[in-house]
């Protein structure tokens, strides 16, 4: 692979990596005179103010930072403004107010030519309904963004064949989109967005139009690609399970606002509102919560084994219960920082919440 590779994430959630893309008080209001409305209020307005002015607040006061190489998921139900937000980030939609910073530069201030240049080389996007061009075959579709840049045919087709190989579509180069299944079409969409070697990759509900089984397969495929490519990914979904499966961090949106940003674990352990708690209620907690969240200070009892702080409970629950003894939680240097008791694991698996209250 000739992709620009970045340092693999070592510790999600830690601030080690540079900020790739940031939203600073981004607003998108629909309605007449929306720009004046928000400027007069200095970028502050409540939902009631917006409604009273006869405006529709698709995105309201969004602040978030996406770090290089992370999978950042924006999750919300339909109409929560997540699609509008991601379009503000790529400037497909012009925000009414606020700043979108790409590597520290305000995206909203750059010229059209610079924006085209940026999109050609550094951004990629995958769409819910694939957005393949019906008159081009797989090879031409994938090579299309390259041909737009003026690359000659042999160069762009060679690159297109590379990504076709990458997403496992070899042998289908000359098929037209309507001859492919949904999953295959989305593979084409993914390959097309990767052909330009983008640094930041927007995925707008990429798997929502697929059957559950195919969706699962495509999620695995995405994780496989990410371990090879280490893109900065902004992923939109309305499916909380999908978010949990893929995310480094999740931003939950409701009515145009971001309610909470955090790792899946943080959301499950500390939901900011009842709305977030509602989503997390049915989550398989053992797969989300790590040893660090469940550990307590060592009280001197004998340990039956050791686990890393990031290890998910599900990865050692069987061992710890059968061992019947607490496991030591050890950091990178092998020094114990706490312990997890079998009882805490059993309580978690049984859905009893007292372990956390005691921690």
Contacts with another protein by CB under 8 A lie at 87, 90, 92, 116-121, 123-125, 127-131, 133-137, 144-145, 148-149, 174-179, 193, 196, 202
For residue 276, give the nearest of 58, 56, 77, 70 by alpha carbon. 77
Q: Which is nearer to another protein, 133 or 158 (CB)?
A: 133
Q: How far is the CB of 141 from another protein (least distance, A)?
A: 10
CA dihedral 31, 96, 29, 203 (to 10 degrees): 130
Q: Which is nearer to another protein, 179 or 353 (CB)?
A: 179
- Checking DSSP bridges between strand 56-67 and strand 19-30, what pairing results, if any? antiparallel
Distances, alpha carbon 117 to alpha carbons 99, 111, 112, 123, in Å? 19, 10, 9, 10
Q: Which is nearer to another protein, 162 or 310 (CB)?
A: 162
Q: Which is nearer to another protein, 196 or 280 (CB)?
A: 196
CA dihedral 102, 108, 109, 113 (to 10 degrees): 80
Q: Which is nearer to another protein, 131 or 298 (CB)?
A: 131
Q: How far is the CB of 341 from another protein (least distance, A)?
A: 51
Read off φ and ψ for residue 151, nearest 5 degrees.
Answer: -70, 145
Q: How far is the CB of 25 from another protein (least distance, A)?
A: 24
Q: How far is the CB of 105 from another protein (least distance, A)?
A: 17
Q: How far is the CB of 172 from another protein (least distance, A)?
A: 8
**DSSP code per residue over 307-327:** E-TT-BHHHHHHHHHHH-SPE
- Checking DSSP bridges between strand 232-237 and strand 71-75, what pairing results, if any? parallel
Show the tokens assigned to 142: 């994938």
Contact 86, 28 (CB under 8 A): no
Q: Which is nearer to another protein, 86 or 348 (CB)?
A: 86
Q: Which is nearer to another protein, 165 or 179 (CB)?
A: 179
- Torsion over CA: 78, 81, 87, 90 (sign): negative
For residue 29, give the nearest of 98, 108, 96 by alpha carbon. 96
In sequence order, the 6+-apart residues with CB closer than 8 A to the CB of 302 are 325
Q: How far is the CB of 204 from another protein (least distance, A)?
A: 8
Show the tokens assigned to 186: 């989305």
Q: How far is the CB of 129 from another protein (least distance, A)?
A: 6
Q: Which is nearer to another protein, 23 or 123 (CB)?
A: 123
Based on its alpha-carbon atoms, the radius of gyration of the chain, rounded to whole angstroms, reads 23
Quote the Cα angle for 64-66-69, to 5°. 170
Q: How far is the CB of 31 from another protein (least distance, A)?
A: 18
């Amino acid at each position: 692979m000739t992709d620009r590779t970045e340092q693999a994430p070592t510790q999600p959630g830690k601030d080690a990596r540079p900020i790739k893309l940031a939203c600073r008080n981004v607003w998108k209001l629909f309605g007449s005179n929306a720009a004046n409305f928000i400027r007069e209020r200095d970028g502050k307005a409540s939902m009631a103010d917006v409604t009273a002015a006869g405006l529709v607040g698709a995105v309201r006061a969004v602040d978030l930072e996406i770090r290089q190489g992370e999978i950042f998921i924006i999750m919300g139900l339909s109409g929560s403004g997540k699609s509008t937000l991601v379009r503000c980030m790529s400037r497909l939609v012009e925000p009414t107010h606020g700043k979108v910073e790409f590597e520290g530069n305000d995206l909203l201030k750059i010229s059209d030519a610079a924006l085209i240049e940026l999109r050609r080389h550094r951004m990629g996007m995958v769409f819910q309904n694939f957005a393949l061009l019906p008159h081009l075959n797989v090879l031409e579709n994938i090579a299309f963004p390259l041909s737009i840049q003026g690359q000659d045919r042999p160069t762009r087709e060679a690159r297109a064949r590379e990504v076709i190989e990458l997403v496992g579509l070899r042998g289908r180069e000359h098929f037209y989109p309507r001859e492919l299944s949904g999953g295959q079409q989305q593979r084409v969409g993914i390959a097309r967005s990767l052909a330009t070697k983008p640094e930041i990759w927007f995925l707008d509900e990429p798997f929502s139009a697929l059957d559950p089984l195919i969706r699962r397969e495509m999620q695995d495929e995405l994780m496989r690609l990410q371990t090879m490519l280490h893109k900065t990914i902004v992923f939109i979904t309305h499916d909380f399970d999908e978010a949990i499966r893929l995310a480094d961090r999740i931003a939950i949106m409701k009515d145009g606002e971001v309610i909470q940003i955090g790792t899946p674990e943080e959301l499950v352990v500390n939901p900011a509102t009842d709305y977030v708690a509602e989503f997390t209620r049915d989550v398989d907690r053992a797969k989300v919560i790590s040893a660090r969240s469940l550990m307590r200070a060592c009280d001197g009892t004998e340990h039956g084994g050791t686990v890393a702080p990031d290890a998910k409970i599900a990865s050692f629950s069987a061992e710890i219960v059968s061992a019947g003894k607490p496991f030591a939680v050890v950091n990178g240097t092998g020094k114990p920082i706490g312990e997890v008791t079998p009882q805490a694991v059993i309580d978690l698996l049984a859905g009893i919440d007292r372990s956390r209250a005691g921690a």
